[in-house]
Amino acid sequence: MSTEQAQESAQPSKNALKKAAKEAEKAAKAAEKKARQDAEAAAKAAAEVDDAIHHYGKLPLNQSQTKTGEHRIQISALNANSEGQDVLFRARLHTSRAQGSKMVFFVFRQRQHTIQGLLQLKEGHVSKQMLKWGAAISTESIVLVRGVVARPLEEVQSVTIKDAEIHIAEIFVISSVETRLPFTMDDASRPEEEYERSEKEGIQYNRVLLETRLNNRVLDLRTQTNQAIFTIEYGVCDLFRSYLNSQGFTEIHTPKLQGAATESGASVFKVQYFNGLAYLAQSPQLPKQMAIAADFERVYEIAPVFRAEDSNTHRHMTEFMGLDLEMAFEESYDEVIEVLDSLFLGIFEGLSTKYAGEIALINKQFPAEPFTWRKKEQGGTLRLRFSEGIAMLKAAGAEVEDLEDLSTENEKWLGRLVKEKFNTDFYILDKFPMAVRPFYTMADPEDARYSNSYDFFMRGEEILSGAQRIHDAGLLEAEMVKKGIDPASMKHYVDAFRLGCPPHGGGGIGLERVVMLFLKLNNIRRAALFPRDPKRLVP
């Protein structure tokens, strides 16, 4: 091949030149189109200046760098009479719903209280960008809202504050949710009957099981139902403390590390204590009796107690809150029962009046017949002897022994019989067999097979166990030996009675069990903030 021929073959063909020219023309048109679009977008952005840019957004991390002192309200205080009031508040974003491109509805939540908020397009105040941003805030984020209280056109049925709403002027995110939620607040708040109805109607809801709730307890505790449950639990403690204070009791605080098992070595937690062993207190039984020997006369305590019992039931936990009291009496342990009875009647009455709103809210998710008790004008609390309870059970067909303790099944059976015959959910069973009570229990003076001990029951389940205690050192030692306990292992406890001690008695109440049964929650774990049982140590 000659040099001329080689050069001629290296030059592009006419078709290649045409193709390259077309591609160049196409690229030029694309560049021209992009430049035109960019110019149009810039012009549009310039025309749509976000005049609400300072009215929304994510707030910087709070490091206590500013302090305005501006008053922030609790939404529970708002109602139709608050119309026109400028307000500022912090709340959880419960739900949000965009309606078209010009408004977003919100539900804000503070504990068990909710209120509707409305963010509406308004030139110079609320921009399209603000609406779009607000609609995208993740539920359960914590927001700071500024707005004006208004009357809705009609009552808002989906919130607790029905006759007022917030017209939002500003909304900022204080803390956002950074993970996918395992369940929604709506799903966690549905009553069981709603799930059952939805299945029949072909509607699918996500059922939130108790195990899932407990594994995600922080989120679960935010539900309005749970906020109300633990408000009730606070109420029980407050009423307990207030009544006993009015009766001359002194609140004490006893150690939870003990050198000996309180009642039964088989049900205590052993812990390493330097070079020896200690035990977590099953109850404040020993120290509260010693306080009576120390002339405190009347004492009570609200504190945790520990039970190393492998009981995976609806009503047992390995750690729970005990409401304990002990008191000296003058002539008869009846004086102790009367104080305890009046205490419970005061708690029931106080819950029913002071916390009626919380009870109604809880009943939406856990429907229950109202708890009943006999008031003093109705003859007062029913008090049966243990032998009478056994007779009622036998008459109903139960196989029970005269001197054996009641099983859970028979407790509930007796509760149903009492309810049918006496129309009460609350009663006292007195004079338990001596063989089924702890070593420090005083025997009945007329029949040593029985004791001066009692249990209180709610809805057929025991919520208090108590007795007259043995206050004589010699008798105490003899009973310890009968139960297989070496008195020397509790020398300091026994020695307290050698110094002289008045006759006394008391009882221990399970806080979570009282709340569970009063509200009929069906599982004690629902009444425990972070429950502990044989299978759960976290969260």
In this structure, are 371 and 239 located in the same domain? yes
Share of the chain above pLDDT 70, in %: 95
Instruction: Single out the catalytic residue among 233, 301, 462, 512.
Output: 462
User: Helix 285-293 to helix 491-498 angle, to the nearest 10 degrees?
Assistant: 20
Question: pLDDT digit string (tens) for 256-297?
Answer: 998 877 665 558 999 999 999 999 999 999 999 999 999 999
In this structure, are 243 and 327 located in the same domain? yes
* 150 membership: H or E segment, kind and range: strand 142-150
Instruction: Single out the catalytic residue among 217, 316, 374, 532.
Output: 316
The pLDDT, as a whole number, for residue 308 is 93
> What is the CATH classification number for the domain harbouring 237?
3.30.930.10
> Which stretches of 304-382 are DSSP H helices?
334-354, 356-365
Residue 538 lies in a domain: no
Instruction: Single out the catalytic residue among 385, 465, 532, 536.
Output: 465
Residue 18 lies in a domain: no
In this structure, are 201 and 346 located in the same domain? no
Last residue of a domain, one of 105, 140, 175: 175
Does 389 score more than 70 pLDDT?
yes
Residue 289 lies in a domain: yes
The pLDDT, as a whole number, for residue 12 is 67
The pLDDT, as a whole number, for residue 15 is 76
Q: Contact 370/410 with Cβ under 8 angstroms?
A: no
Question: pLDDT digit string (tens) for 404-415?
Answer: 999 999 999 999
Furthest CA-CA distance within the chain: 139
Report CA dihedral (171, 176, 180, 181) to the nearest 10 degrees. -70
The pLDDT, as a whole number, for residue 186 is 93
Does 88 score more than 60 pLDDT?
yes
The pLDDT, as a whole number, for residue 377 is 86
Residue 27 lies in a domain: no
Question: pLDDT digit string (tens) for 149-203?
Answer: 999 999 999 999 999 999 999 999 999 999 999 999 999 999 988 888 887 887 8
> What is the CATH classification number for the domain harbouring 97?
2.40.50.140
Instruction: Single out the catalytic residue among 94, 109, 113, 315.
Output: 315
Does 4 score more than 60 pLDDT?
no
In this structure, are 321 and 385 located in the same domain? yes
In this structure, are 407 and 346 located in the same domain? yes
Tell the residue number behind the tokens 């995976």, with chain if given.
Answer: 312
Residue 535 lies in a domain: no
- Rounded Cα distance, 428 and 119, in Å: 57
State the distance between the two ends of the chain, measured CA to CA, in whole angstroms: 87
In this structure, are 409 and 483 located in the same domain? yes
Residue 17 lies in a domain: no
Residue 275 lies in a domain: yes
Residue 76 lies in a domain: yes
Q: Active-site residue 315, yes or no?
A: yes
Does 6 score more than 70 pLDDT?
no
- In 176-275, the DSSP E strands lie at 250-251, 257-258, 270-273
Q: What's the mean pLDDT in 323-349? A: 98
Looking at per-residue pLDDT, the higher value among 35 and 271 belongs to 271
The pLDDT, as a whole number, for residue 499 is 97
Q: Active-site residue 453, yes or no?
A: no
Q: Active-site residue 513, yes or no?
A: yes
In this structure, are 170 and 197 located in the same domain? no
Q: Active-site residue 213, yes or no?
A: no
Does 5 score more than 70 pLDDT?
no
Instruction: Single out the catalytic residue among 309, 335, 338, 388.
Output: 309
Q: What's the mean pLDDT in 46-63? A: 90
Q: b/e per residue, 264-278, with b = 16+ CB within 10 A? A: beebbeeeeeeeeeb
Last residue of a domain, one of 149, 175, 201: 175
| C-alpha dist (Å) from residue 445 to 12, 214, 216, 431, 451 | 124, 48, 53, 11, 8
Instruction: Single out the catalytic residue among 94, 109, 213, 307.
Output: 307
Last residue of a domain, one of 137, 152, 175: 175
Question: pLDDT digit string (tens) for 494-509?
Answer: 999 999 999 999 999 9
The pLDDT, as a whole number, for residue 263 is 65
The pLDDT, as a whole number, for residue 45 is 59
- Which amino acid is it at 361? L
In this structure, are 280 and 383 located in the same domain? yes
Q: Active-site residue 72, yes or no?
A: no
Q: Active-site residue 465, yes or no?
A: yes
Looking at per-residue pLDDT, the higher value among 327 and 259 belongs to 327
Domain of residue 165: give its range.
Answer: 56-60+70-175
In this structure, are 195 and 235 located in the same domain? no
**44: pLDDT confidence band, cut at 50, 70 and 90?**
low
- Rounded Cα distance, 318 and 286, in Å: 20
**57: pLDDT confidence band, cut at 50, 70 and 90?**
very high
Q: Active-site residue 101, yes or no?
A: no
Q: Alpha carbon 205 to chain centroid distance?
A: 23
Tell the residue number behind the tokens 């397009």, with chain if given.
Answer: 121
Share of the chain above pLDDT 90, in %: 84
Does 487 score more than 70 pLDDT?
yes
- Sheet containing 270-273: order of strands: 257-258, 276-280, 270-273
In this structure, are 154 and 198 located in the same domain? no
- Rounded Cα distance, 96 and 40, in Å: 33
In this structure, are 240 and 337 located in the same domain? yes
Q: What's the mean pLDDT in 59-87? A: 96
Tell the residue number behind the tokens 């020219």, with chain if given.
Answer: 21
Tell the residue number behind the tokens 């025991």, with chain if given.
Answer: 462
Question: pLDDT digit string (tens) for 121-152?
Answer: 999 899 999 999 999 999 999 999 999 999 99
- 250-254, 307-311, 417-421 — which is least confidently predicted? 307-311
Number of domains in the chain: 3
Does 109 score more than 60 pLDDT?
yes
Q: Taking all residues of the chain, what is their mean pLDDT, rounded to a whole number?
A: 93
Q: What's the mean pLDDT in 236-250? A: 98
Instruction: Single out the catalytic residue among 298, 469, 513, 525.
Output: 513
The pLDDT, as a whole number, for residue 425 is 98
The pLDDT, as a whole number, for residue 364 is 95
Q: b/e per residue, 522-533, with b = 16+ CB within 10 A? A: eebbbbbeebbb
In this structure, are 108 and 192 located in the same domain? no
- 201-205, 249-253, 447-451 — which is least confidently predicted? 201-205
The pLDDT, as a whole number, for residue 47 is 60
* Per-residue H/E/C for 247-311: CCCEECCCCCEECCCCCCHHHCCEEEECCEEEEECCCCHHHHHHHHHCCCCEEEEEEEEECCCCC
